[in-house]
Amino acid sequence: MWRGPALADVADEPFAAAEIRRCDELWLQARELAVDSDLAAGRTKDALREAMTLAAEQPLREHAQAQLMLALYRAGRQAEALEAFTAARTRLVDEIGSEPGPELRRLHEAILHQSPALDGPPRVRGVRAPAGTAALS
């Protein structure tokens, strides 16, 4: 991963614009994957910190907003997770004239109903186990 803007030293060249957009998108996807990994591993604080940054930088990117909502919910901040949905919905409607997609709508509904499916990975002796593993009693 690079630091700073992609291809900054050749940004004014005709060939660079499309490649810069592609690199920027890959960079965003990598950051989202890192948040997904933190959430899957039960590292809620790390996930929340990056999700807040990413959601602020990309207010119309629905997956980033969903990650923020899930991280807030797992941090015990259900009301803030619901507020994040409302804010994301308002931005989407006001700025691009579109309602939230299925991912955000399903997550919103699950948060409202405190669905057990939103819980993080099970704890095993005080340590978070990988998703899909069984907790020992």
Contact of 62 with 51, CB cutoff 8 Å: no
Q: For residue 92, give the nearest of 118, 64, 114 by alpha carbon.
A: 64
**Residue of 7 and 129 predicted with greater confidence:** 7
7: in domain: no
Mean pLDDT of the region 80-87:
98
Contact of 121 with 42, CB cutoff 8 Å: yes
> What is the tally of structural domains in the chain?
1
Q: What does the pLDDT look like over 86-135, one tens digit per residue?
A: 999 999 999 999 999 999 999 999 999 999 999 987 754 454 545 544 44
Q: Residue 39 is part of a domain; what is its CATH number?
A: 1.25.40.10
Which segment of 25-39, 57-71, 113-127 scores lowest on mean pLDDT?
113-127
Burial class (CB in 10 A: 0-12, 13-18, 19+), 16: middle
3: in domain: no
Query: Is 80 exceeded by the pLDDT of residue 20?
Result: yes
- Give the number of other CB atoms < 10 A from CB of residue 66: 25
Find the domain containing 35 and state its range: 12-120
Percent of the chain at pLDDT exceeding 70: 87
58: in domain: yes
Query: Is 70 exceeded by the pLDDT of residue 78?
Result: yes
Cross-strand pairs, 127 = 124
pLDDT of residue 7: 82
137: in domain: no
Q: What does the pLDDT look like over 41-57, one tens digit per residue?
A: 999 999 999 999 999 99
